């Protein structure tokens, strides 16, 4: 017992109430706040240009730590299931949006949470192929006459996501180069239409 200065007996201190564990929804909200980068990964940009390997490792380490803490918390199991369901829904949307970079990150995260669905492998393979589509910058044009016919060539700078190399090429209509085919000139040399040979998808690149 504690005694006050005037000799009275001091009342015992009330112990603080036990800390209330977070609800599953609160745990998931915390995780999604730390994973906000998932909301800003755009389509048609290779993941290598958006997120360094160290950044991917940090995301995986965070989710790994979050799951460990959730598993040790009351209500943690439903929280892990809820976050997994959320990320799997984002995977389906990323596929619809043709967002390969986002898909690659999501596949890693749901596996880190313990998901073993077979579709993850198919999604990852699709994303790997689409993410590796070369990025073409049209730098200018060159033309000359050969045997009375005008020949037009495009000067391009090409980034290869799988090797992170930058190559410079000079190509003409119909030519295949670096996994692409130059299909045709758009308008009055406003740009070029290309085909990605791995998927047969076509896309356009416009000049400066």
DSSP secondary structure, 16-63, as one string: PPPPPPPPHHHHHHHHHHHTGGGGS--TTS-GGGT--HHHHHHHHHHH
Residues 132-157 have a mean pLDDT of: 90
Is the pLDDT confidence value at 4 over 90? no
94 shares its domain with 167? no
Is the pLDDT confidence value at 22 over 90? no
Q: Which of 97, 131, 165 marks a domain boundary? A: 131
Cα gap 111→113, rounded to integer Å: 5
Q: Which of 110, 131, 152 marks a domain boundary? A: 131
**Tokens describing residue 19:** 């800390």
Cα gap 48→28, rounded to integer Å: 28
Supply the range of the domain harboring residue 56.
24-131
- 191, part of any domain: yes
pTM of the shown model: 0.84
Instruction: Give the pLDDT confidence of 35-64 residue by residue, as tens digits.
Output: 999 999 999 899 999 999 999 999 999 999
Is the pLDDT confidence value at 189 over 60? yes
Of 4-18, 102-116, 172-186, give the lowest mean pLDDT range. 4-18
Instruction: Give the pLDDT confidence of 60-95 residue by residue, as tens digits.
Output: 999 999 999 999 998 899 999 999 999 999 999 999
121 shares its domain with 161? no
- 82, part of any domain: yes
Q: How much is the pLDDT for 2? A: 38
Q: How much is the pLDDT for 150? A: 83
What mean pLDDT, rounded, does the chain reach?
90
- 50, part of any domain: yes
- 7, part of any domain: no
Total domains in the chain come to 2
- Is the pLDDT higher at 10 or at 208? 208
Express as a percent the part of the chain with pLDDT over 70: 91
- 61, part of any domain: yes
Q: Which of 93, 116, 131 marks a domain boundary? A: 131
Cα gap 163→104, rounded to integer Å: 17
- The β-bridge partners of 203 are 194
């Amino acid at each position: 017992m504690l005694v006050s200065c005037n000799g009275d007996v001091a009342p015992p201190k009330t112990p603080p109430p036990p800390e209330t564990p977070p609800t599953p929804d609160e745990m998931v909200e915390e995780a999604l706040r730390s994973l906000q980068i998932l909301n800003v990964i755009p389509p048609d940009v290779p993941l290598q240009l958006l997120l360094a390997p160290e950044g991917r490792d940090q995301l995986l380490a965070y989710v790994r730590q979050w799951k460990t803490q959730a598993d040790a918390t009351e209500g943690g199991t439903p929280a892990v299931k809820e976050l997994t369901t959320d990320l799997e829904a984002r995977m389906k949307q990323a596929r619809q949006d043709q967002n390969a970079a986002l898909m690659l990150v999501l596949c890693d995260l749901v596996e880190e949470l313990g998901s073993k669905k077979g579709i993850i492998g198919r999604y990852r393979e699709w994303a790997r192929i689409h993410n590796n589509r070369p990025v073409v910058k049209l730098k200018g044009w060159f033309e000359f006459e050969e045997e009375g016919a005008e020949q037009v060539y495009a000067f391009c700078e090409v980034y290869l996501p799988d090797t992170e190399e930058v190559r410079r090429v000079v190509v003409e209509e119909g030519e295949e180069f670096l996994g692409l085919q130059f299909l045709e000139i758009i308008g009055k040399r406003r740009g070029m239409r290309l085909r990605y040979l791995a998927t047969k998808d076509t896309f356009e690149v416009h000049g400066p």
